A and B are shown apart, each in its own frame.
Chain A
Amino acid sequence: MNIVKSQPKSIIQDSTKYCPGCGHGIILRLIGEAIDELGIRERMILTAPVGCAVILYDYISCDVIECAHGRAPAVATALKRVHPDKFILLYQGDGDLAAIGTAEIVHAANRGENLSAIFVNNATYGMTGGQMAPTTLVGQKTTTSPFGRTIKGMGKPIRVCEMLSTLEETKYLERTSIHSVRNINKTKAAIRKIFQNQMNGIGFSMVEILSMCPVGWKVSPVEAVQFIEEQMLNYYPLGVYKNVE
């Protein structure tokens, strides 16, 4: 029998505490694969966000720092300035990056910090039970927008790749998704790319990943995949928003 895939060495557990159909497990696995392939496990320092992914140190075998909600870009800035030869990965959700920590991500990007960022956009606050996020779609029902998000009074969902692309010191911005195998493979390539950019000293690089939150959305895992395909992709087009070599 040919072994096509095996568990990456950087991944230290074969099962996660994540809900059925959640995207975090897939993304963490992709990070583990990329770390293995580039041989950078012993030079990695990961930032764990507040939210579901805070426990990423239970799954990835690297040095990790847990950051206050939204502050990871400031923490990572200091880590990179102290250890320019190490790989610093930002891992942030939409509440973390696009609400409470908007200032930190904008300014870290604007300073052109040589960091790799993964922004997980599942259009809701997963850990606290599915409240409205800055990325929640217009019309989307959440526990704090029970009648559906309206533009009046709640604003339109923030498109982070588009917003950050206006900053001249951002070097690579791509939006991907993990709702299909093809898109998972593209996401993997983007994660490799943001690591390689840091390796080559290119500067601030981020991949925004559209991800499923079936429990927060109160749908089945299959319906969650359909929600990305039918709803999120319309508002959040996939693709490379910036690529400065």
Chain B
Amino acid sequence: MADEKKTETQDKQMLMKGNEAVGEASIKAGCYCYFAYPITPQTETPEYLSKRMEEENRVFIQAESEVAAINMVFGASAAGVRVMTSSSSPGISLKQEGISYIAGAELPCVIVNVCRGGPGLGNIEASQADYFQSTRGGGHGDYRCIVLAPNSVQECYDMTLNAFDLADYYRMPVLIQSDGIIGQLVEPFQMHPYKPMFDKFPPKDWALTGCAGRKPNVVRTLYLNPANGLELLNRKLEQKYNKIKSELRWCETYNCDNADIIVIAYGASSRIAKSAIKKHNTNGTKIGMFRPKTLWPWPDVELVDIARKNKNVKFLVIEMSMGQMLEDVLLTLMDVVPKKNIYFYGMGGGWNPTPDSVYEKISEIMKK
């Protein structure tokens, strides 16, 4: 036992799929319940957790549908424990009903979306076309989710640890926006022991535990009086979201000082873009990269800072979608950069750009 404890306090070098790293991180973060329904390309997470949750004496249920799974998340979160579900694009669409209720009831939970091609049944290849759905709410009503976008197995692990803390700290759903490539990618990573991100978390005094010794708790989302009820809730949520916008904007910048072109990409496409950028830079050009790690809140202040420092810089937005994050880039830079200096390269077929095609795209812009 002593040896086991020792290993829990140290990093371990591991080799896993992104989807499995998400699962192990949830165990480390103290996730007590996991509910899911199989869908490609995320199925390794429920497969992994069906074994690990049993080993840890925690709760695993393969639900009858994604709708049931997210409502189990709703119940477990209301009961006061850490809880997660995962799915892929069509399944996440089904979960949107529950996500809206969870956001409305201000309950913490973690939801992993390993994106695939859409709309409709689409295909099972990697895609980033759920950007609008994740960052604009997705379900009905005025709400947001924190959205984290890993681009490596290491970040699948680390961001899952973070996601549970952020969910509890802000009392809201946190989405991990992975994709088919990142989920299926096998690469070594450091398995860090779980360390809470915050010194203190708000008490879960709202949790449903039976009302012994206190007044009954009610977890609700119905507010029939618009002026005194729902308006107040939505104002409160707006304040919370504004606080998060000021506190939580994560991004990675690479080679941005004095760059001629800055590529903006996240998730799998950022990995592909980086290969192309490195190849260009060995040829004596200056290409940088800006990678949002939080898709909501979007790191707008950071991008504006970069644009202001370098007036002549051009931007190339790369997505495995038809121009969804592009809208956030345009909104962010509308007063800082002429629109003609913002270029877009997207693929919508559930397929990814290659380092060569990104290299060519950068070369074209260099010639203009």
Contact = CB atoms under 8 A, between A and B. Distances in A.
B200 interface: no
Interface in B4-62: 32-33, 35, 59, 61
Contact of A66 (B63, B68, B212, B220): B220
B218 interface: yes
B159 interface: no
Interface stretch (B70-78, B245-253, B343-351): B70-78
B175 interface: no
Contacts of A83: 79, 208-210
A74 B68 contact: yes
A76 B75 contact: yes
Nearest to B224: A55
A106 B68 CA distance: 12
A54 B63 contact: no
A81 B67 contact: no
Given A64-B216, A64-B219, A103-B64, A71 B79 contact: no
B68 A63 contact: no
Interface string A215-241: 000000000000000000000000000
A225 B3 CA distance: 71
Given A57-B216, A68-B97, A79 B79 contact: yes
Most buried by A among B73, B75, B101, B221: B75
A233 to B, nearest CB: 33
A62 B221 CA distance: 17
A64 B218 contact: yes
B78 A65 contact: yes
Interface in A21-55: 41-45, 48, 54-55
B74 A45 contact: no
B101 A107 contact: no
A82 B211 contact: no
Given A82-B79, A86-B210, A104 B220 contact: no
Decide if the interface of chain A is mainly helix, strand, loop or mixed: helix
A48 B74 CA distance: 14
A78 interface: yes
A105 B98 CA distance: 17
A184 interface: no
Interface residues on B, range: 35 or more
B310 interface: no
B210 A71 contact: no
A143 interface: no
A45 B217 CA distance: 9
B64 A107 contact: yes
A77 interface: yes
B76 A82 contact: yes
A67 B210 contact: no
A75 interface: yes
A145 interface: no
A68 B211 contact: no
B65 interface: yes
Contacts of A66: 105, 218-222
Given A78-B75, A104-B64, 20 more contacts: A43-B210, A44-B211, A62-B211, A63-B209, A63-B217, A64-B218, A65-B74, A65-B218, A65-B220, A71-B68, A73-B68, A74-B63, A75-B71, A76-B75, A78-B71, A79-B75, A79-B79, A82-B33, A104-B71, A106-B64
Interface of B: 32-33, 35, 59, 61, 63-65, 67-69, 71-76, 78-81, 83, 97-98, 101, 105, 208-213, 216-222
Interface of A: 41-45, 48, 54-55, 57, 61-68, 71, 73-79, 81-83, 86-87, 103-104, 106-107, 111
